[in-house]
């Protein structure tokens, strides 16, 4: 029998994950299917029950369930316990195992482009679930230090404590205190949701140069105002879709145990824009 997969979240109708995974199935001739399934906040337990009933083989989790989903796991991979949030689940005979592929997904485009982040100074904007996976990634790759800027200072302070516990030198500031200091960093990451609705970037990027890496995790639209400002300064750009692709590739490999067809998945993703 064919295998079945899903992505759960709310909203979910604009998710590109079904396109990406279906393209991989076609490319490799796998008898599998992948659907988007809307589960509103507060209905996660029932939703998971339904997925178990139909013997789903695996699923991705997106906003707003990434943290709450931890409660319904039978087994927890190290990536998942470290980050405290889950975005990928495998189901083996009713045993749900959780993974977090956001960290690897974030690092993947940097590795593909051979951009070394060992010893770099990082400015991270945002302190939510995605930011936490990114902090774990910079700790793993031994960045020199990270400044976490967030609208709500308390959340930045908490995330900065987490960074220190995993061996990364960190400090927390409010976004407005970044002022004209962007040029002092080697890599600047937007991990807020700002840009999704075409808003202006929360910071200015004046003074950065062609060696500065600017990474936006917002993938829709592809060219956010933040990316446009970085391009104007001739910085090295990493788009949000590259992280999305990276985490999808990792999820695919967890579920199927074979190498993911990267190019077919990328093509399907870019076709979705
Ligand atoms: P995710 O799982 O995608 O990280 P999240 O945990 O809800 O989502 O985090 C969203 C991030 O975007 C937070 O850092 C949030 O800032 P607050 O902690 O102050 O809420 C940030 N964010 C959302 N809208 C914002 C806005 N209009 N201006 C600045 N930051 C914003």
Say whether pLDDT at 1 is over 80.
no
Say whether pLDDT at 129 is over 90.
no
What is the per-residue pLDDT across 210-236, written as a single tens digit (0 to 9) for each?
Answer: 999 999 999 999 999 999 999 999 999
Q: Is 208 in the pocket of ligand 1 (CB under 6 A)?
A: no
Query: Is 92 an active-site residue?
Result: no
Domains and CATH numbers, the chain: 3-100+243-271 (3.40.50.10860), 103-238 (3.40.50.720)
**In the structure, what pLDDT confidence band is assigned to residue 272 with cuts at 50, 70 and 90?**
confident
What is the per-residue pLDDT across 182-203, written as a single tens digit (0 to 9) for each?
Answer: 999 999 999 999 998 899 999 9
**Cα 150 to ligand 1 centre (Å):** 8
What is the per-residue pLDDT across 135-162, written as a single tens digit (0 to 9) for each?
Answer: 999 999 999 999 999 999 999 999 999 9
pLDDT at 273 (0 to 100) = 79
pLDDT at 210 (0 to 100) = 98
- Report the percent of the chain where pLDDT is more than 70: 100
Q: Is 158 in the pocket of ligand 1 (CB under 6 A)?
A: no
Q: Whose C-alpha lies nearest to ligand 1, atom 25?
A: 194
What's the rounded mean pLDDT across residues 264-268?
Answer: 97
pLDDT at 63 (0 to 100) = 86
Say whether pLDDT at 180 is over 80.
yes
Q: Whose C-alpha lies nearest to ligand 1, atom 14?
A: 126
What is the per-residue pLDDT across 54-73, written as a single tens digit (0 to 9) for each?
Answer: 999 999 999 899 999 999 99
Most ligand 1 atoms within 8 A of CB, residue of 192, 196, 203 to mutate: 192
3-state SS, 257-273, equals: CCCCCHHHHHHHHHHCC
Average pLDDT, rounded, for the chain: 96
Per residue in 227-244, is it b (16+ CB within 10 Å) or e — as a string? Answer: bebbeebebbbbbbbbbb
3-state SS, the chain, equals: CCEEEEEEECCCCCCCHHHHHHHHHHHHCCCEEEEEEECCCCCHHHHHHHHHHCCCCEEEECCCCCCHHHHHCCEECHHHHHHCCCCEEEEECCEEEEECCHHHHHHHHHHHCCCCCCCCEEEEECCCHHHHHHHHHHHHCCCCEEEEEECCHHHHHHHHHHHHHCCCEEEEEEHHHCCCCHHHCCEEEECCCCCCCCCCCCCCCCCCCCCCEEEECCCCCCCCHHHHHHHHCCCEEECHHHHHHHHHHHHHHHHHCCCCCHHHHHHHHHHCC
Q: Is 267 in the pocket of ligand 1 (CB under 6 A)?
A: no
pLDDT at 9 (0 to 100) = 96
**In the structure, what pLDDT confidence band is assigned to residue 81 with cuts at 50, 70 and 90?**
very high
Shortest-distance atom of ligand 1 to CA 156: 18
């Amino acid at each position: 029998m064919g295998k079945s997969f899903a992505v759960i979240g709310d909203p979910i109708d604009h998710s590109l994950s079904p396109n990406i995974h279906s393209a991989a199935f076609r490319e490799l001739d796998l008898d599998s299917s992948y659907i988007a399934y809307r589960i509103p906040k507060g209905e996660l337990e029932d939703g998971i029950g339904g997925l178990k009933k139909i013997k789903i083989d695996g699923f991705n989790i997106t906003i707003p369930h990434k943290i709450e989903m931890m409660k319904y796991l039978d087994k927890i991979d190290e990536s998942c316990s470290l980050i405290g949030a889950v975005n990928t689940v495998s189901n083996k005979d009713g045993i749900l195992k959780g993974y977090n592929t956001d960290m690897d997904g974030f690092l993947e485009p940097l590795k593909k482009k051979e951009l070394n982040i060992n010893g770099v100074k990082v400015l991270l904007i945002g302190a939510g679930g995605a930011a936490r996976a990114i902090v774990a990634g910079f700790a793993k790759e031994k960045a020199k230090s990270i400044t976490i800027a967030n609208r709500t200072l308390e959340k930045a302070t908490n995330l900065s404590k987490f960074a220190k516990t995993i061996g990364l030198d960190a400090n927390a500031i409010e976004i407005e205190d970044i002022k004209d200091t962007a040029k002092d960093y080697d890599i600047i990451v937007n991990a807020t949701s700002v840009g999704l609705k075409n808003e202006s970037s929360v910071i200015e990027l004046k003074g950065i140069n062609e060696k500065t890496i600017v990474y936006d995790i917002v993938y829709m639209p592809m060219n956010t105002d933040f990316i446009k400002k970085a391009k104007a300064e001739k910085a090295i750009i990493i788009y949000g879709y590259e992280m999305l692709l990276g985490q999808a590739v990792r999820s695919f490999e967890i579920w199927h145990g074979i190498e993911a067809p990267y190019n077919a998945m990328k093509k399907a993703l870019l076709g979705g824009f």
